[in-house]
Chains A and B, each alone.
Chain A
Amino acid sequence: MIEIVQEYWQAYLWNDGGQLSGLAMTLWLLVISVAIGFVMSVPLAVARVSKNPWVRGPVWFYTYVFRGTPLYIQLLLFYTGVYSLSVVQSSDLLNTFFREGFNCAALAFALNTCAYTTEIFAGAIRSTPHGEIEAARAYGMSTFTMYRRVIIPSMLRRALPFYGNEVILMLHATTVAFTATVPDILKVARDVNSATYASFEAFGIAAALYAVIAFFLVWLFRRCEMHWLAFLKPQSH
């Protein structure tokens, strides 16, 4: 156990002697996919609750497909599937993008978390208290201003606990990235396993690292909830 930690701690944490690896890689992958997913999901959530079926329909279809299939298949689709298409191989730009396992993983993860986040946000928009919208209208706000000033901020607050859950699930989901040769924590653990045959130690260290990140995220989101949902706390005068 101690020898493994001494020899591989750098690879587990941030560098395997050449490139980013382990914990740093997992976090980087998580941050980039969650960030892209978040930015795309806010407008998509607004479209998802639209009254127009031509706007609502495509978004419904997108979330249905991405929530109804495993992330592993989605990753394989981008990593082995798209790369094998002749369109991709004949275009320089697409070719360089899809050759990198990291790009495929980040793309698949971003699209996947975006689908779940869109549904979370759409649910929160639907549960906006009627009075808030009435008040915004009474102030003479245009629809755009109403979304920007009232609906979206209040929706993000209500969605926060569910969003925290989704980010932790996404952390767990990043483990499939090693199948696209991304050197995340699990890839390092697999390499250590095949080099030392100490399976329990190799994967045990990985498990502990993931648990630490998960507990950190739980703590972080609890802090955010205390900050942004402070108005929901029982008041004492």
Chain B
Amino acid sequence: MFLEGYGPLIASGTWATVKLALLSLAASVLIGLVGASAKLSANRALRGLATGYTTLIRSIPDLVIMLLLFYSIQMLLNEFTEYLQLEQIDIDPFVAGVVTLAFIYGAYFTETFRGAFQSVPRGQLEAAVAYGMGPWKVFRRVLFPQMMRFALPGIGNNWQVLIKATALVSIIGLSDVVKATQDAGKGSMQFFYFTVVGALIYLAITTVSNVALMRLERRYSVGVRKAEL
């Protein structure tokens, strides 16, 4: 039979993966915007901090950061609860996954947004200030919409990498697509079949996001003439 009765398990795993990816995307975009502003700020300490963060995170594999944070935070939490004589609190793998993925991909988004912010012509910002717009309005009306045009290809890349990185969160115990298909494989002794099912689900997710990204790119490049070859 199709999926051997493991359909609901795999469906809930898929939902967990999609939720994990979307939440981490939202959080890492926020970190990226803050990080890029820090990198471009006039304050040297802020710049140094942001540069240290992006350099460090991008030179260490994501799985190592994930395990490092997951186990160390659990240890710290244990010490804390022991000190207060409370019961041990186990970190939820979903929360841990969102936090670590956001922390890691925040560094990649920081670099993407930094480049995009710098590509917006200075004159545009000066014009906005000359119109009497406040800093928030300049950001919302001028800087952000133009920056997005330059940032979209990078955002798309990061998103594709982020989706594939969610597969690693099953290693710290989240019941995602990978875990569900492996459990189904164990239960039915059909590892090959169910691993292929898992791969196809990821392929479907990346294909859908490809189409969505292409649409977004078209939306944000309205009014820009492409070089005709």
A212-225 near B? 1/0 per residue, CB < 8 Å: 00110000000000
Residue B68 at the chain A interface, CB threshold 8 Å: yes
Which residues of chain A from 182 to 227 have a CB within 8 Å of any chain B CB?
Answer: 186, 189-190, 193, 197, 199-200, 203-204, 206-207, 210-211, 214-215
- B60 near A210 (CB under 8 angstroms)? yes
CA distance A172 to B170 in the complex (A): 17
Number of residues on chain A facing chain B (CB within 8 A): 38
Which one of B62, B64, B164 has the greatest number of beta carbons of chain A within 10 Å?
B64
Q: Which residue of A lies closest to B68 (CB)?
A: A203
Say which residue of A68, A174, A199, A211 sits within 8 Å of B202 (CB atoms).
A68
Which residues in chain A, 50-95, are within 8 Å of chain B measured between CB atoms? Answer: 65, 68-74, 76-77, 80-85
A68: B residues at CB distance < 8 A:
202-203, 206-207
Tell whether B199 is near chain A: CB-to-CB under 8 Å: yes
B95 within 8 A of A: no
Question: Are the C-beta atoms of A175 and B195 separated by less than 8 Å?
Answer: no
Cα distance, A204 to B75, chains bound together (Å): 14
Write out the residue numbers on chain A whose beta carbons fall within 8 Å of the beta carbon of B165. Answer: 70
Q: Is the CB of B72 within 8 A of A200?
A: yes
Main secondary structure of the interface of A (DSSP, over half): helix
Residues of A contacting B196 in the complex (Cβ-Cβ under 8 angstroms) = 77, 81
In the complex, which of the residues A77, A172, A214 has the most CB atoms of chain B within 10 Å of its own CB atom?
A: A172
CA–CA, A8 and B198, complex, Å: 37
A109 to chain B, nearest CB (A): 13
Residues 51 to 86 of chain B near chain A (Cβ within 8 Å): 56, 59-65, 67-68, 71-72, 74-75
Q: Does A125 contact B (CB under 8 A)?
A: no
Is the pair A76, B178 in contact by a Cβ cutoff of 8 Å? Answer: yes
Contact with A along B141-180 (1 / 0, CB 8 A): 0000000000000000000000111111011000000100
Instruction: Please give the distance in Å from B141's CB to the nearest CB on chain A.
Output: 35
Residues of B within 8 A of A80 (CB): 182, 185, 191, 195
The reply to whether B75 and A211 form a contact with Cβ atoms under 8 Å apart is no
Question: Min CB distance, B16 to chain A, in Å?
Answer: 15
Chain B residues whose CB sits within 8 angstroms of the CB of A69 once the complex forms: 164, 199, 202-203, 206
Assess whether A84 is in contact with B190, with CB atoms less than 8 Å apart.
Answer: yes
B residues 194-214 in Cβ contact with A at 8 Å:
195-196, 198-199, 202-203, 206-207
Q: Roughly how many angstroms separate A68 CA and B166 CA in the complex, as a whole number?
A: 13
How many A-B contacts are there with CB distance less than 8 Å? 112
Determine the chain B residues whose CB is within 8 A of the CB of A179 once the complex forms.
171
- Cα–Cα distance between A214 and B62 once the two chains are bound (Å): 13
Say yes or no: B75 contacts A70, CB within 8 Å: no
Minimum distance in angstroms from A101 CB to a CB of chain B: 15
Give chain A residues whose Cβ lies under 8 Å from the Cβ of B198.
73, 76
Closest A residue, CB atoms, query B67: A203
| Contact indicator A204/B68 (Cβ below 8 Å) | yes
Q: Does B2 contact A (CB under 8 A)?
A: no
B61 partner, pick from A74, A76, A82, A172, beta carbons under 8 A = A172
CA gap between A175 and B65 in the complex, in Å:
11
Task: Check if B131 is an interface residue, CB within 8 A of chain A.
Answer: no
Apart from A200-B75, A214-B59, list 18 A-B contacts with CB within 8 A.
A70-B165, A70-B166, A70-B178, A70-B202, A72-B178, A73-B195, A74-B199, A76-B182, A85-B192, A186-B61, A186-B63, A189-B67, A193-B71, A200-B68, A203-B68, A203-B71, A206-B64, A207-B60
Chain B contacts to A: CB under 8 angstroms: 56, 59-65, 67-68, 71-72, 74-75, 163-168, 170-171, 178, 182, 185, 189-192, 195-196, 198-199, 202-203, 206-207
Q: 30 A-B residue contacts at CB 8 Å?
A: A68-B207, A69-B203, A70-B178, A71-B164, A72-B170, A73-B195, A73-B198, A76-B178, A76-B195, A76-B198, A77-B196, A77-B199, A80-B182, A80-B185, A84-B189, A84-B190, A171-B61, A172-B61, A172-B62, A173-B61, A176-B63, A189-B67, A199-B68, A200-B75, A204-B68, A207-B65, A210-B60, A210-B61, A211-B56, A211-B60
